[in-house]
Chains A and B, each alone.
Chain A
Amino acid sequence: DQQVKQNSPSLSVQEGRISILNCDYTNSMFDYFLWYKKYPAEGPTFLISISSIKDKNEDGRFTVFLNKSAKHLSLHIVPSQPGDSAVYFCAARNYGQNFVFGPGTRLSVLP
């Protein structure tokens, strides 16, 4: 039973345009969400987070949006750069429990 879903296994975007990565979850009790970025042969790197009491969090080119009623979050990267090409994982947790990871979306930013 996948509680955190990333339904697009891959995404290609032109350099300079916006990348939008989506994540859906099933557990309405999740209270905190994370995005990680992973390059090949490296460990995932924490990117940005959002609490369930917010609907938006921004950090430079990265913005995460949370729609609790739809149980959906998205990561926007603007503008996209070739160095953003990586696998992106979203993760969610119930308070006091471990984060559950989605299967990941591979982003390719084309020059």
Chain B
Amino acid sequence: DSGVTQTPKHLITATGQRVTLRCSPRSGDLSVYWYQQSLDQGLQFLIQYYNGEERAKGNILERFSAQQFPDLHSELNLSSLELGDSALYFCASSSGQGINIQYFGAGTRLSVL
């Protein structure tokens, strides 16, 4: 158990809809990262937050947005969903300092039908 909690585990929705994925980081970690993994591809970095502030942005679509709340949990919002958005979405957390190893949650599997 990495200590990173993601909910829900599975999400099935229709094209055009909007969903919210939630992540609770490990206790004490200030950084949260979101990744997308499609069809056994590599991990595509989406966005990082550190202590409530956006720290780095990757290949995140404009239809996607994220935030980190004062209690450090984070939400990834996906809107106007398309079939191609079907993927595993992982959240990771790290201390934000030192070696800064990322610890991953179990992921949310999103299926857009």
Given A32-B99, A45-B2, A49-B101, check contact A101 B107 (CB 8 Å). no
CA separation between A60 and B102, bound complex, in Å? 22
Q: Which of B89-113 contact A (CB under 8 A)?
A: 90, 92, 99-107, 109
Smallest CB gap from B91: residue in A: A43
Tell me how many residue pairs across A and B have CB atoms closer than 8 Å: 49
Q: Which of B48, B99, B105 contacts A43 (CB 8 A)?
A: B105
The stretch among B13-21, B37-45, B61-69, B72-80 that forms the contact with chain A is B37-45
Given A42-B107, A43-B4, A43-B106, check contact A101 B101 (CB 8 Å). no
> Which positions in B face A, CB cutoff 8 Å?
2, 4, 6, 33, 40-43, 45, 48, 56, 88, 90, 92, 99-107, 109
> Which positions in A face B, CB cutoff 8 Å?
32, 34, 36, 41-46, 49, 87, 89, 93, 98-104
